[in-house]
Amino acid sequence: MRSIICLLILAIIMFNSCYKPEKTDFHPNQTISSSVISQPDSLTGKEFVFDSLVWTPDENRGCASFEMENANFFNNPNRNIGILLKQDGAVFWEPVVRSFGNAYYQSYLYNIFSDRLYIWPSPVTPLLIGKYFSIRIAFL
């Protein structure tokens, strides 16, 4: 019985001594740059303009609203974007502010949720329903 245990111990020692870990180029003191870990955002620095958009009714808010679905643009709700809006016939572009809670703004608000961009006027108004507008989205 003792010889069997000795043979098992000897076999375990031999097996462990013959094991060679897979060679890697990483050393514990080596740092990995963040560019290797994360891919750069391919939309950064690009700008898109969407014309002839129409305000639609939002039954939840009782006002005009707009919704755009685009998984490539809005799949990251933390992506840094800038949005400008111009009503049909207007000369100037107006900023669209990111909505954080129930803050009151005299402007247009936006939020991104489930790969969709939502825009609505603040204060809420049904007067825009059916009217045309354009948006400019810049990926910063």
Total structural domains within the chain: 1
Mean pLDDT of the chain: 77
Answer yes or no: is 125 within a domain. Answer: yes
Determine the pLDDT at residue 23. Answer: 47
**Strand order, beta sheet including 81-87:** 47-54, 132-139, 81-87, 94-98, 107-113, 116-122, 63-69, 56-58
Determine the pLDDT at residue 53. Answer: 94
DSSP E strands, 63-115: 63-69, 81-87, 94-98, 107-113
Answer yes or no: is 102 within a domain. Answer: yes
For residue 64, pLDDT over 60 is answered with yes
DSSP E strands, 12-131: 47-54, 56-58, 63-69, 81-87, 94-98, 107-113, 116-122
For residue 22, pLDDT over 70 is answered with no
- The residue segments making up the domain with residue 59 are 47-139
pLDDT category at 131 given cuts 50, 70, 90 is very high
Answer yes or no: is 27 within a domain. Answer: no
Residue type, 123: P
pLDDT category at 114 given cuts 50, 70, 90 is confident
Answer yes or no: is 23 within a domain. Answer: no
Answer yes or no: is 129 within a domain. Answer: yes
Answer yes or no: is 86 within a domain. Answer: yes
pLDDT category at 24 given cuts 50, 70, 90 is very low
Answer yes or no: is 118 within a domain. Answer: yes
